[in-house]
Amino acid sequence: MKNIFILGIRGIPARHGGFETFAEKLSIYLSGSGWSVTVYCQEAGSGRIYQSMWRGIKLVHIPVAHDGALGTIIFDWKATCHALGQRGLFLTLGYNTASFNLMQRIKGQINIFNMDGIEWQREKWGMMARTWFWLNERFGCWFGNHLIADHPKIKEHLSTRVKAEKITMIPYGGDEVCNADASLLDEYNLAPGQFSVIIARPEPENSFLQMVRSFSRKQRNHKLVVLGNFDVEKNSYHRSVIDSASGEVIFPGAIYDTATVQSLRFYARFYFHGHRVGGTNPSLVEALGAGCAVIAHDNHFNRWVAGPDAAYFRDEADFCEILDRLIPAEDITLKMRAASRTRFKDRFTWEQVLGEYEELLTHWYPTK
- Of the CA atoms within 13 Å of residue 101, those in its CB half-sphere come to 29
For residue 16, what pLDDT band results from cuts at 50, 70 and 90?
A: low
Closest CA to 101 of 129, 127, 79: 79
Percent of all residues in the chain with a pLDDT value above 70, rounded to a whole number: 99
Question: What gap in Å lies between CA 195 and CA 343, rounded to an integer?
Answer: 23
Q: What is the pLDDT of residues 80-98, one digit of tens each?
A: 999 999 999 999 999 999 9
pLDDT (mean) for 288-302 = 97
The better pLDDT of the pair 43, 116 is held by: 43
Q: Give mean pLDDT, residues 1-11.
A: 95
Q: What is the pLDDT of residues 57-74, one digit of tens each?
A: 999 999 999 988 899 999
Q: Which amino acid is at 44?
A: A
Question: Which pLDDT does position 19 carry in this prediction?
Answer: 85
User: Looking at domain 182-347, which CATH architecture does it have?
Assistant: 3-Layer(aba) Sandwich (3.40)
Query: Does the structure show a pLDDT above 90 at 278?
Result: no
Query: Is residue 188 exposed (0-12), middle (13-18) or buried (19+ Cβ within 10 Å)?
Result: middle
- Domain segments of the chain as ranges: 3-173+350-364, 182-347
For residue 70, what are the CA distances in angstroms to 67, 114, 129, 365? 7, 22, 12, 32
Cα–Cα dist 165/251, whole Å? 45
For the segment 192-207, the average pLDDT, to the nearest whole number, is: 94
Q: What is the DSSP string of 214-278?
A: HHTTS--SSEEEEES---TTT-HHHHHHHHT--TTEEEEE----HHHHHHHHHH-S-EEE---S-
96-131 pLDDT per residue, tens: 999 999 999 999 999 999 998 777 777 677 788 888
Task: Convert the pLDDT of each residue in 223-274 to its tens digit.
Answer: 999 998 999 898 999 999 999 999 999 999 989 888 999 999 999 999 999 9
* Residue 85: per-residue pLDDT: 96
**Rounded CA separation 199/40 (Å):** 28
Provide the b/e sequence for 199-214 (b: ≥16 CB within 10 Å): bbebbbbbbbbbbbbb
Is the pLDDT higher at 236 or at 133?
A: 236
Please give the pLDDT value at position 367: 86
Does domain 3-173+350-364 correspond to CATH entry 3.40.50.2000?
yes
Mean pLDDT of 342-364: 97
Residue 117: the pLDDT is 76
d(CA 56, CA 180): 30
Euclidean distance between CA atoms 90 and 105, whole angstroms: 11
Beta strand 146-149 pairing with 89-93: unpaired
Domains 3-173+350-364 and 182-347 agree in fold: yes
Packing angle, helices 208-215 and 236-243, rounded to 10: 20
Instruction: Specify whether the CB–CB gap between 255 and 226 falls below 8 A.
Output: no
pLDDT recorded at residue 155: 96
Check residue 161 and report its DSSP letter. Answer: T
CB 325 within 8 A of CB 113: no
Task: Assign 133 a pLDDT band (cuts: 50, 70, 90).
Answer: confident
